[in-house]
């Protein structure tokens, strides 16, 4: 189901048919380094990840992470969307793209559309994001979207600290 469209991209809800793409994305070195190992090693694992993550969040909240595809050929290039984590009081924006699509403005294009959607369609008054302190590219993108560093925090006991960035509308 299409949620957003930009000049070059279509953002739609993920489905079980996206398991192959998810398997590839969550095992990219950049995902493993900055987001973490989700233990997804097979297509069945990827379907489980989709069912327990994005698909469950759509059913519960009506939003979640969306698959980002190129408008010209439909190729899956990344994820971008809104997440409600138990560890955070506010909705946060998340994104991840295959390395072959970095540096082309796709993440900013998708994330800008998601920020506007969160504020205008969902009525969010505040948006946050978390990023590893050394994830300079993501932090730069979040700052370009108007989010500002608030504090270092941990999402769970024993977890590495992350930067919390936020934006009020």
Containing domain of residue 56, as a range?
A: 2-168
Is residue 156's pLDDT more than 90? no
**CB atoms closer than 10 angstroms to residue 101:** 16
pLDDT in tens, 83-139: 999 999 999 999 999 999 999 999 999 999 999 999 999 999 999 999 999 999 999
The position carrying tokens 């809104």 is 82
> What are the φ/ψ torsions at residue 80 (nearest 5 degrees)?
-160, 135
| Confidence (pLDDT) at 158 | 87
58 in Cβ contact with 13 (< 8 Å)? yes
- Please give the DSSP secondary-structure letter assigned to residue 16: G
Of 92, 96, 116, 99, the C-alpha closest to 107 is 96
65-70: strand order across its sheet = 2-5, 9-13, 65-70, 76-83, 92-97, 126-131, 162-168, 148-153
96 in Cβ contact with 78 (< 8 Å)? yes
pLDDT in tens, 21-44: 999 999 999 999 999 999 999 999
- 158: exposed, middle or buried (C-beta count within 10 Å: 0-12, 13-18, 19+)? exposed
| Confidence (pLDDT) at 127 | 98
Of 169, 116, 166, 127, the C-alpha closest to 143 is 166
CATH number reported for the structural domain that contains residue 34 in this entry = 3.40.630.30
Q: Could you tell me the two tokens for 89?
A: 């009081």
Domains identified in the chain, total number: 1
Q: Give pTM, 2 decimals.
A: 0.95
């Amino acid at each position: 189901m299409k949620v957003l469209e930009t000049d070059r991209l279509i953002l739609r809800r993920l489905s079980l048919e996206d398991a192959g793409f998810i398997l590839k994305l969550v095992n990219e070195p950049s995902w493993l380094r900055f987001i973490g190992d989700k233990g997804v090693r097979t297509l069945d694992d990827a379907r489980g990840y989709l069912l327990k993550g994005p698909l469950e969040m759509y059913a519960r909240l009506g939003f979640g992470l969306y698959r980002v595809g190129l408008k010209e050929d439909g190729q899956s290039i990344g994820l971008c969307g809104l997440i409600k984590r138990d560890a955070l009081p506010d909705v946060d924006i998340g994104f991840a793209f295959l390395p072959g699509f970095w540096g082309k403005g796709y993440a900013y294009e998708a994330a800008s559309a998601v920020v506007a959607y969160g504020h205008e369609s969902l009525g969010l008054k505040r948006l946050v994001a978390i990023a590893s302190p050394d994830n300079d590219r993501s932090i730069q993108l979040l700052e370009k979207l108007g989010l500002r560093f608030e504090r270092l925090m941990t999402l769970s006991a024993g977890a590495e600290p992350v930067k919390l960035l936020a934006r009020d509308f």
